[in-house]
């Protein structure tokens, strides 16, 4: 893999065909200062090779990355160096061109989660920034939105509020969309935001989904509690969490 000058945290990844894209993240310097990374790397599974394919116009970490039509990567909100952004940045992967779609209409967040099925997006929770002089305050954002990408124009997204799953915002959940069950599935996370050390938060064992056919929430049996995720893997009706953080860090 092309080398970063430092280790990168809070990246996310998506796949399109036989290629896997590792997106953004941030670095932590010796003085604990953080810097968002613009790089997007592609891993071609047919030849087992990495390459740097493009850079985000606005670097974000702790974003939600979703794939539409096996061609477009949507980066929804996220953290850019010193603050959240409400941008929906879109990479057209055939030419690696960028454009902005309809902005995220809720308070901009980082550490949120979501998924896509067809042209329908569900995004939930995360952390918003409250600016109270002389400093910023970080507050959980218990809010869920449904977005529908215009079939004729990938730049246009119709956003609407939907009922929240529980009233409790979870941070850094694992999430994905499943065409097999027509649902957006969420798992784990924490009800208390934290930085990279996980202190003093506790992981969640909750698993739930938004049923796109019935426009309602479904709740499932608890799993082993875990947090600090970006995405959830699925091969149909089975779902996989890789890594993460438990209560003992």
Q: E-strand spans in 104-221?
A: 113-117, 120-124, 127-132, 135-140, 144-150, 153-162, 174-178, 183-187, 207-211, 216-219
What CA–CA distance (Å, rounded) separates 67 from 148?
Answer: 13
pTM above threshold 0.85: yes
Task: Give residue 207's pLDDT.
Answer: 98
Domain range summary for the chain, segments of one domain joined by +? 12-240
Name the CATH superfamily housing domain 12-240: Kelch-type beta propeller (2.120.10.80)
Q: Decide: 42 and 93 in contact? Cβ < 8 Å.
A: no
Task: Single out the residue of 185, 244, 245, 195 nearest to residue 218, CA to CA.
Answer: 185
Q: Is the Cβ–Cβ distance between 80 and 60 less than 8 Å?
A: yes
Tell me: the pLDDT tens digits for 128-187?
A: 999 877 788 999 999 999 999 999 999 999 999 999 999 999 999 999 999 999 999 999
pLDDT at 4: 55
For 37-74, the pLDDT digits (tens) are 999 999 999 999 999 999 999 999 999 999 999 999 99
Neighbours of 233 (CB within 10 A): 13
- The pLDDT of residue 135 is 82
- What is the rounded CA–CA span in Å between residue 45 and residue 241? 21
């Amino acid at each position: 893999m092309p080398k970063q000058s430092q280790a990168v945290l809070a990246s996310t990844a998506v796949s399109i065909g036989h290629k896997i894209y590792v997106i953004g993240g941030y670095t932590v310097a010796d003085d604990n200062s953080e810097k968002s990374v613009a790089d997007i790397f592609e891993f071609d599974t047919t030849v087992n090779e990495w390459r740097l394919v493009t850079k985000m116009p606005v670097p974000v970490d702790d974003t939600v990355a979703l794939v539409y039509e096996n061609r477009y990567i949507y980066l929804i909100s996220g953290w850019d160096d010193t603050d959240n952004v409400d941008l929906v940045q879109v990479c057209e992967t055939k030419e690696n061109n960028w454009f902005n779609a309809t902005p995220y209409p809720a308070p901009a967040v980082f550490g949120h989660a979501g998924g896509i099925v067809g042209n329908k997006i569900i995004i939930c929770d995360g952390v918003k920034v409250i600016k109270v002089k002389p400093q910023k305050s970080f507050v959980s954002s218990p809010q869920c939105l449904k977005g529908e990408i215009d079939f004729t124009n990938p730049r246009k997204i119709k956003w609407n509020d939907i009922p929240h799953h529980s009233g409790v915002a979870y941070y850094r959940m694992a999430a994905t969309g499943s065409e097999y069950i027509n649902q957006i599935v969420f798992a784990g996370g924490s009800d208390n935001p934290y930085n990279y050390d996980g202190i003093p938060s506790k992981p969640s064992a909750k698993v739930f989904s938004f049923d796109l056919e019935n426009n309602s929430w479904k709740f499932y049996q608890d799993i082993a509690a875990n947090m600090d995720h970006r995405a959830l893997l699925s091969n149909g009706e089975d779902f996989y969490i890789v890594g993460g953080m438990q209560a003992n860090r």
